[in-house]
Amino acid sequence: MGDLERGRPPIEDYLGRRARIYERERAVLADVAPAGPQAAMHGEFMEELASLADTAGVYVVGTLVQQRKSPDPATFLGRGKVAELTALAQEQAADVLIIGSELSPAQARNLEEKTGLKIVDRAQLILDIFAQRAGTREAELAVELAQLEYLLPRLRGWGQALTDPGGGIGTRGPGETRIEQDRRRTRSRIQTIRAQLRELDRVRQVRRKQRRRTGIPEGAIIGYTNSGKSTLFSRLSGTQTRAEDKLFATLDTRVRRLTFSNGIAILVTDTVGFIRDLPHQLIPAFRATMESTREAALLLNVLDASSPYLLEHYRTVLDVLAEQIFDEAEAWPPVLHVLNKMDLVTTPEQMALVARAQGEISPHVITAAAEGRGLLELRAAVSAMLKERFVRVTIRLPQDRSEVLAWLADLGRLEARFEGEETVVEIVVPAPDLARIEALGLPLTTSEPERP
């Protein structure tokens, strides 16, 4: 459903075409890189920026990076580089300039005036990708809120819009300019969205509380964006989810129950991918992901083993967990690292990097989710890490208590056999459910779950 169909103005109404980028636009990428050893690592950052542009449907026609200690406070790039950038854009018939850092409103305005191009910074690019791909009402509202909070200090008039007074129904009167009307309308929309998100958050908390009552532990699949999380989630859960070779292919959390052959079960959540320097406006859009991660009994950190930046992505995920999700003194749940996409590891350089990662990352398993390889080993590792949260119960049911079978079947996968006039039931249940079974007053014994 589009913005107009919901009865509210689209984001574009607040800043015109400057509010977002569009598919098939031609873009030049530009950024400032610090001089020295760090300059070499900036190449990865620009590759990621190009991938973000591709995800947004934009065609990259050129790249320009200036090495300097700090960005120019007025135009971000130096005067000479701005002229060089303008010539490159004209030569390549570019429509938009994408900057790899977050710009101040003044820098964006000055660059636009000097280059004649629409200016989009990295934060705005990521916001636009989220807006294109949000699939649930909560995700759409969270992204719209992030966009409006980003745009509010950047609202500016063009032509007579700075000084023309407004008038008519719904305005404050002839003393209010159009830009003031836009700001007031934006603030009003922000307050409306926040109220709607609070209600959706309440509904999500109710659903989470209902899942907790089952006693089944929850696990979250986390990881750097485009590491293969959704593909792995689909393989483990037996469901079909959208998996694309693009950044942020998944923006909505999904929960599925995963039961192992030994009866151990876990509720698995597919979460939004992490990325370095996430725009702070988007942190509320990660609320469901952050909650799932904080409350998980186990985290599966999926890493792209074929990426030349495997170790950098590993460290970024740990940094995000430490800085944005868990408090400093808060204990983390166990983390199992999944070196995924091993089917794409073919060169000696890739193999050497994976070998190095195996020495630094522990505990870990190796998978190729796209081909279904390594899943048995992954299941075994997950089951072993969760084993202490489950107990195997053997119960002897007399004939006059057969109605208990249906109740037990709701707790988990059971096996039953007849021995004389009794039914012997074996079932693996979450440890908190043991007290409920003991309350039946039936003869029972307990043991550890078997290996899957």
Indicate whether 204 pLDDT > 90: no
Any domain includes 170 = no
Any domain includes 139 = no
Residues 348 and 422 in one domain: no
* Residue 37 token pair: 């050893």
**Among 107, 131, 155, residue at a domain's last position:** 131
Which CATH number covers residue 407? Answer: 3.30.70.240
Which CATH number covers residue 309? Answer: 3.40.50.300
Residues 348 and 334 in one domain: yes
pLDDT tens per residue, range 376-431: 999 999 999 998 889 999 998 888 887 888 888 888 788 888 888 888 889 988 88
Residues 255 and 234 in one domain: yes
Residues 320 and 401 in one domain: no
Percent of the chain with pLDDT over 70: 82
Indicate whether 165 pLDDT > 50: no
Residues 363 and 392 in one domain: no
**Among 371, 387, 403, residue at a domain's last position:** 387
For 129, other C-beta atoms within 10 Å of its C-beta total 23
Cβ-proximal residues to 100 (8 Å cutoff; 6+ apart), any chain: 29, 30, 31, 45, 46, 49, 121, 122
Any domain includes 197 = no
Residues 334 and 415 in one domain: no
Which of 28-37, 106-115, 238-247, 345-354 is the most confident on average? Answer: 345-354
Indicate whether 145 pLDDT > 60: yes
Residues 369 and 414 in one domain: no
Any domain includes 182 = no
- Domain enclosing residue 417, as ranges: 388-447
CA atoms within 13 A on the CB side of 13: 13
Comparing 81-85, 158-162, 266-270, the range with the smallest average pLDDT is 158-162
pLDDT band at 324 (very low <50, low <70, confident <90, very high): confident
* Average pLDDT of the chain to the nearest whole number: 82
Q: How many domains does the chain have?
A: 3
pLDDT tens per residue, range 352-381: 999 999 999 999 999 999 999 999 999 999
DSSP state of 303: E
pLDDT band at 9 (very low <50, low <70, confident <90, very high): low
Residues 358 and 432 in one domain: no
414-419 and 422-430 as β-strands: parallel, antiparallel, unpaired? Answer: antiparallel
**Among 71, 102, 131, residue at a domain's last position:** 131
